[in-house]
Amino acid sequence: MGAYATAGMQMVAARPCISASQGMLTSRAAVCQIGRTLSTSTGFASCPRICYSSPLGSSKRSGVAIRAMSRESGPQGLPIDLRGKRAFIAGVADDNGYGWAIAKALAAAGAEILVGTWVPALNIFETSLRRGKFDESRKLPDGSLMEIVKVYPLDAVYDSPEDVPEDVKGNKRYAGSSNWTVKEAAESVKNDFGSIDILVHSLANGPEVTKPLLETSRRGYLAAISASSYSFVSLLQHFLPIMNPGGATISLTYIASERAIPGYGGGMSSAKAALESDTRVLAFEAGRKGKIRVNTISAGPLGSRAAKAIGFIEKMIEYSYVNAPLQKELLAEEVGNTAAFLVSPLASAITGSIVYVDNGLNTMGLAVDSPTISS
């Protein structure tokens, strides 16, 4: 199973919790006293400290400027703050896909990172981490390195040990690993950490992805659905009991779910369509049952190792660059930043949504400056 391949929102102005006429406030001391009274006596703990940019006794009384300052030290603005949150990201097997970018964005926002890695790729991934191969990729905006607290073996095609065929159990690529079905992974996380706040589904696989749909076998089609869409249902089903209320989940989809993308075959377009439909239904069910938000990101093409299995990923990237409203390279970190926003309190009312991060390509029906037309 291939793995799919912290931003701050600046607040321009903030209104103070209280306002007063200049005639009422004649000195900085009076302002500070009122601020202390509000915060300690009336319980307005969230009321920002009030400061004046010029002396109150200034002759330009009509131009007094008031600005709200955070009580805590640090950058001003409206930050994405995930401190104290724990995230489990399923589908991280290297350092160049969307799963890795999401992990970095969540870590930069302060979240604790746990990852689930496809069993056959587990040894290489852990060895690369241990030997520092990913150190450059682990760098966060503040210069520190992203810490992955624990890596769990995971094959999200199998819900429980009873579902694993004998030939897979005896496969040498699974030798030495245990507790890697979805149910067992959730139990392991519960035993180790008790609970999580964020669940990320960043995995997909279509064994016949290079085949046109008309040539796709039933087995290949169902395998794509199982690995790429039902795996999300299974993950949420098993992790929901250990998710803290107010938590959030994210999955990754692609525009082939709603537009014809020749070459993206083997049932993968159908799997993405199912994933998006499931997002809406799960948003209702998980929202009512556990107060959990469920969203999916429709990301543009990225030249990750997993995406190269499609066979023409470079052409897809070039097409997007030429025809999208924003003619620029799509960066994995842009998807990561969007994920960080969606799982943060800043997106507390967003659920059941498909959020497009593709430089706007999804909006296009015809690009008038397309080389096809100009020729």
Report pLDDT digits (tens) over 122-157. Answer: 999 999 999 999 999 999 999 999 999 999 999 999
Active site residue: 254, 319, 321, 356, which one?
254
Q: In this structure, is residue 25 part of a structural domain?
A: no
Domain that holds residue 251: 86-363
Q: In this structure, is residue 78 part of a structural domain?
A: no
Report pLDDT digits (tens) over 160-196. Answer: 999 999 999 999 999 989 999 999 999 999 999 999 9
Active site residue: 158, 174, 264, 356, which one?
264
Q: Look at 47-51, 69-73, 342-346 and tell me which has the smallest mean pLDDT.
A: 47-51
Task: Kindly indicate the confidence band of residue 62, based on its pLDDT and cuts at 50, 70 and 90.
Answer: very low
Q: In this structure, is residue 35 part of a structural domain?
A: no
Give the DSSP letter of residue 68: E
Q: In this structure, is residue 109 part of a structural domain?
A: yes
CATH code for the domain of 241: 3.40.50.720
264 is catalytic: yes
Contacts of 148 (CB under 8 A, 6+ apart): 103, 113, 114, 115, 129
Q: In this structure, is residue 261 part of a structural domain?
A: yes
CA-to-CA separations, 356 to 164, 301, 365, in angstroms, rounded: 35, 12, 16
Report pLDDT digits (tens) over 357-374. Answer: 999 999 988 766 666 666
Question: How many domains would you assign to the chain?
Answer: 1
Distance CA 105, CA 100 (A): 9
Q: In this structure, is residue 41 part of a structural domain?
A: no
Token pair of 271 as six digits: 């799997």
Residue 60 has a pLDDT of 38
Residue 92 has a pLDDT of 96
Residue 33 has a pLDDT of 45
Residue 318 has a pLDDT of 86
Average pLDDT over the chain, rounded to an integer? 82
Instruction: Please give the angle made by the CA atoms of 98, 203 and 123, to the nearest 5 degrees.
Output: 90
> What phi-psi label fits residue 350: left (phi over 0), alpha (psi between -120 and 50 degrees) or beta?
beta
- DSSP for 55-104 reads -TT-S-GGG--EEEE-SSSS--SEE---TT-EEEEET--SSSSHHHHHHH
Give the DSSP letter of residue 334: H
Residue 69 reports pLDDT greater than 70:
no
Residue 20 reports pLDDT greater than 50:
no
Q: In this structure, is residue 178 part of a structural domain?
A: yes
Report pLDDT digits (tens) over 231-284. Answer: 999 999 999 999 999 999 999 999 999 999 888 999 999 999 999 999 999 999
Give the total residue count for the chain.
375
Distance CA 200, CA 248 (A): 9
Nearest one of 246, 214, 251 to 230, comparing CA atoms: 251
Distance CA 146, CA 139 (A): 6
Token pair of 336 as six digits: 């990561």
52 is catalytic: no
Residue type (1 letter), 271: A
Residue type (1 letter), 320: S
Task: Kindly indicate the confidence band of residue 104, based on its pLDDT and cuts at 50, 70 and 90.
Answer: very high
Distance CA 281, CA 375 (A): 45
Report pLDDT digits (tens) over 292-327. Answer: 999 999 999 875 556 556 656 788 888 888 889 998
Q: In this structure, is residue 39 part of a structural domain?
A: no
pTM of the model: 0.78
